Structure 1
Amino acid sequence: MEQPILSFLTAYFSDLHIQCRLTDRKQLELADLDLGLRNSILMQEADAQKQAPFPFVQNTIYFIVDYYECNYSFFRLPDKSAFLFVGPFLWREFERSQILSLMNRLDIPTELFPQLQEYYHALPLIADKASMTALLRHVYQTLDADADVSVQTLHLKDLETRESFLEKHQFVVPEDPVLSMHLLEERYHIEDELLDAISHGNSARALSFMEALGNLRFVPRTEDALRNRKNLILTLNTLLRRKAYETGVHPFYIDAVSGNFARMIESIQSVEEINDLISYMVQSYCQLVEQRSMSSYSDPIRQILVTIDASLTGDLSLKRFANELFLNTSYLSTLFKKEVGMTLTDYVNANRIEYAKKLLRSTLLPVQDVAAACGIPDVHYFTRLFRRITGMTPREWRR
């Protein structure tokens, strides 16, 4: 029973982006658990950063608040084989004024403020302590049904005087300080997975990673919450646009989609609207890649396909494309059929009739005008072609 329930607990906290570890150490070493905070800003070697052991009681779930106001939880397994640690995390947002107050109390150099702010904004939030306590208590009692489990909160600053703490902790400003290395790595990993899902046109997978990315917290760049969200989604639009290009979607299609989203983002009036737009954006780029990726086509065929999509009313003859691409007409005809699966003429006609079907259903344009809009000025030829491809006349289709 022990392994399944612990695996469940680890997976649960992993989904919340909270570290959950088993260790057989009897000494609490927060430098190994704090996602790089102490190793980044303290001058001492790792051994000097270890928290002195403190008495613990079996059948007790501990919640710890360290000197940096980070929260952890741990308990010793009923069989005494290991300790389970959860954290760091925050119960509430750590505001700018609180960071400055902490820095003043611990004599942390002011130059470290940007890195500390980045660190605290990256830490996951748990809004409901009661629910987490109930979960851990339930897990413990599943491991030992007879245990009388208690809960205790420890503030490490109450176990050591400020003077004693400062004697043992000397802060230093690194040349390139990075406090939340683990969290930054996780963010980039999720972004990579998101972009990989986009490159395969997999909407469901992309949305799941987008949700995971949304659970991470970022340092606000301005005091305007809406502007911050707009900036983030504009960055996302750029990332998705670039990935679509890398997967073989022509800039002609990408520019239309990304430009439309850029305008939509700037017109948004609330944070709630942005959250809805993010899902739509991810799905749209997946659909774009799925329908428009030309990675399997050679450059000449790719140019022809884009030109056809851009203007069905122009000259779309084999001779025109052969001249523009400096290729022999016979060679180009063979290449097109090999890569696309049909002749150039059949492909052009199929696209023109597909567009005609949309116009017939969505407008009241006369059939002659529909034919002209599709690049076929001869309405009689258009009608014959339409019937050959669809099995009915344009008027029958419209009805």
Structure 2
Amino acid sequence: MNKLFELVVFGRLLFDAIGLPVFIIQPGRAIEAEYTDQSFHTNPYWSSIREQVAGYAYVLYPAEHPVHFTRSRLSYFFVNALDENQLAGTLVVGPYIHEKPQGDKWNEIITYLPQDNRREFLQLVEEIPLISSKRSVDLSRMIYYAVHKKLVDSSTSFPLESMLIPELDAEKKQLNAELSRRRRNGMLHSNLSHERVMLHYVRNGERERIRTFVTESIIAEDEFGVLSKRSRIRSEKNLMITGIALICRAAIEGGVHEEDALTLSDFYIQQLEEKETLQAISAIMTKVLFDFVDRVSEVRRGHYSHAIQTSIHEIANHLYGEITLERLATYTNFSPNYLSSLFKKEVGLTIAKYVQRERIEEAKRLLTLTDYPIADIAAWLNFNDQSYFNRVFKKWTGMAPKEYRKNER
């Protein structure tokens, strides 16, 4: 019995036992099996949920522990399964919610949805299971053990995103004392204008100004709010996670597709958490800035028709899977020949060349930010063999993958 089939069987049993939605995802991001309440399927917004689940970049995350994430306040967790150190499939549990859909927090979410989707989203949320954060963590640890036969400590499987913890009286007193000290010193986050300038550049895709900004932005340590007294590294990570969230939102406002931006944000936060030096943390943030500003710049430079924007988005979501002209034509309701001609006219590349370029861009990110073997990266991105991948990579970058990884780190 192969590992993917084992996940399918286990997923069915798991759904029957816990009543939460369960998805089994192939390594290429296709849904292998889905176990959910039938009432969800009548809601038009459920198709968006399925796309989000299928499109998440599971391959970028380690298999050492469960990973929790949220989308529009809907929560999920997943466990990657390996077969001979290769990703064999992913078991995803969710969506579920930690709080009832009421109040301003939910209103903030629906304001980003098209008018037609708001009611559908709220109706769906009413049907989605409500469980506590602790139970979701406990379930993820149990499922991880069932898949890997290893225990994982609870402290490593909390969600990547911030969890709200009630403040204690002592913490309030400490906060008030800190505010008083900062007022005396005139330090109340005086870098706000600095932050606004940076986000303005990201929102408008101004790469050269971001380059100047990064070069000239040498700020004294005391100008930044310290988010953790226990560890300078932890404090820096906390600040950078906040920064990534702000940059991600600015990029979305600049035109980058929301799911693309959020997936990229999750990826960089995961990379950030693995760094143990201030220099490495700073390097990640520089990559975040340039990556997001380049994506905004590309969107603004393109001004593509709706059909080409749809095609580009589908290509971005399926870099790890099969991408065919016929599939793109189906999404755009154009004939394959017409779509191919229109794509070349607007983008300046054939669809095949564009896909190849985007896969090389993804490979560059993996080479720079992870330690995955080059052969694995080539296979994940659908290159037939490593030698072919090396030739294509060198054609686009001017150097071999191994040389690129060495130079960019």
Q: When the two structures are superposed, what TM-score results if normalisation uses the length of structure 1?
A: 0.39
Q: When the two structures are superposed, what TM-score results if normalisation uses the length of structure 2?
A: 0.38
The structure having more radius of gyration, on CA atoms, is 1
